[in-house]
Amino acid sequence: MDGLTNGSTGELSTPPTVETNCAPYAMQQFGGRTQETRPRTMPYSAPNGVAGIEWHLGRAARQQLWRSIGTGGLAKPFHPRALRIFDNGTTRRKPDMTSALDQLKQYTTVVADTGNFQQLDEFKPQDATTNPSLILKAVQNDSYKPLLEKTVKEHASKPMAQIIDQLLIAFGKEILKIVPGRVSTEVDARLSFDIKGSIAKGRDIIKLYEDSGIDRKRILVKLASTWEGIRAMETLQKDGIHCNMTLLFSTAQAAAAADAGAQLISPFVGRIYDWYKKSAGADWDEVKMGGANDPGVQSVRKIYAYYKKFGYKTEVMGASFRTVSQITELAGCDLLTISPDLLKKLAESNEKVERKLSPEAVANDPVSKIAIDESSFRFLVNDDAMATEKLAEGIRAFAADAVKLEKLIEALK
């Protein structure tokens, strides 16, 4: 930027010389009420050896430019943030648009879905979520190996389950230094059908956080949305431990979780989409089944409408996204947990984001109350092939990653 700007004032250290071909355009624009016919981009010769510079100007700025031409240049043309530098040295005015991510934040609480806490500050999420797969991925990154090694060294004499708990809490504490809200920490997936074991693990997680000075209100204990997981959550919620019901793929699971008093649920948009796409095979039509017709999007909308219609306070947090479109189609959902890759795409996009979900928007959606007990829950989930298969697949995958994490830890002991 040497030779381009002077400090932080936005002034040009050497005013650019306006090319002569700009003059006719000035006369056309300001010589009465002539319709604008000149290009919106106005080139200037390169000042002080910069490869080239151009601005895309708003109306007021263009008028200021033409008024200042006769005085030998621009005094304070633009705020520095209005300029964008390209690799070839050219500069242009960045359009005055709000990013898709910032637009989304007007309607929805944005949550980062990652164990890589070094990425969090870039996107300013309110909360963060983790799971065994994300933690396993993070500890294999050189940046996080010291945290893994330190945790293992300090707790090497403890049982493996406790070392893993300490590692999860270590990541959670680092995340809470960055996000202002909550972090979700997951109960071992191998306890998905163990009510007592899940309750004990949830209490252990909260105690470890509280022993580290973290308020339990900033923690969500994640449990799989099995019947047993929901019953464990019911007890934990009564203990004042807020829970996030994960691996949720159906309205039956959502209804049971809300009836039991869940703080939050995480319906998996992308995994629902994956199942229907794979099931359709060659008949899948991405255009026809995209946008609002995406089966994952429709599932979350139905759950959101169910909760709003019947007055449930449980928060709905869409999760497991594959595309930006799936996210923007759910703008207005209580929360959306989004991977860093998709957060980056949203931050770099200026596409307009409109609110799609609100209590008013879903007021006329056709939803009926579901009476849930153990037998009806098991039948309804069993009757939904997608929910049955994806729930089982998710538990197996998280359990397998827990085993891989144990092997990494064992190698360090």
Which active-site residues does the annotation give?
222
Whole-angstrom Cα distance, residue 400 to residue 396? 6
Task: Name the phi and psi angles at 306, rounded to 5.
Answer: -60, -45
How many CB atoms are closer than 10 A to CB 217? 11
Place of tokens 């190996």: 145
DSSP 181: S
Interior/surface letters 382-407, b for 16+ CB within 10 angstroms, e for the rest: eebebbeebbeebbeebbebbeebee
CA dihedral over 217, 220, 225, 229, signed as positive or negative: negative
Chain mean position to CA 380: 30
How many CB atoms are closer than 10 A to CB 141? 12
Encoding tokens for residue 354?
């409109």
What amino acid is encoded at 58 in this protein?
G
Place of tokens 């919620």: 237
Encoding tokens for residue 398?
């998280």
Q: Residue 174: CB partners within 8 Å, gap ≥ 6?
A: 117, 147
